[in-house]
Amino acid sequence: MSSSLTLLGTLIILLNVFISPVEAVVAFKIGEDEGWHNPGMDNTELYSQWTATKKFHVGDSLVFEYKNDSVLVVSRWGYYHCDTTKPSSVFIDGNTTLVLDNPGEFYFISGDPSHCKEGQRLFINVLPLHRYIATDPVPFPANSPAPSLRTKSGSSAVSVTVVSLIVAPAMWLVFSEVYFISKISNSPYLV
């Protein structure tokens, strides 16, 4: 009986590990080799062209490397009007990593309004974690709060669903406990 429960517990853990969706987290370096910089009037579409070739998911991160500049997280209106007066976040450290922890639209601009007007601004749409979702994400209504960002230091990692890390060991403990109680009490109602 003990070996049956051990085998069952092991199978449940293995199934959870192999069936649960796992997706690699990607760290996107904004501006790639050149970093977050003013593209100038001759290249105002630099960042919108760059984002057109990327898919951002919850858990991914954006890495902004810059000198003598800043990164502002702004509203849609702030993005289109290069408004630096009401950012939700301001970063000035020269090396900012932001973890995308919610799906939705995110807007970033340079703290220098002239840089923003010359194209140093970034709009991204963050998709849910699961890569196999076929529908487009629902945009946030205009009156809803903006999605949140959190800063992160360090490199990229692999994210594994909570089910694999918490539920499987919890189920193992439940099966072990049921077996232990049944041995002690000799109850006909327990395994």
Q: Which residues make Cβ contacts (< 8 Å) with residue 167, sequence separation at least 6?
A: 16
Judge: domain 23-160, CATH 3.50.40.10: no
Confidence (pTM): 0.60
pLDDT digits (tens, 9 = 90+) for 130-164: 554 445 555 544 454 455 566 554 433 333 333 34
- Which sequence spans correspond to the domains of the chain? 1-20+161-191, 23-160
- For 1-35, what is each residue's pLDDT tens digit? 555 555 445 545 444 444 445 456 899 999 988 99
Give the CA radius of gyration of the chain.
24
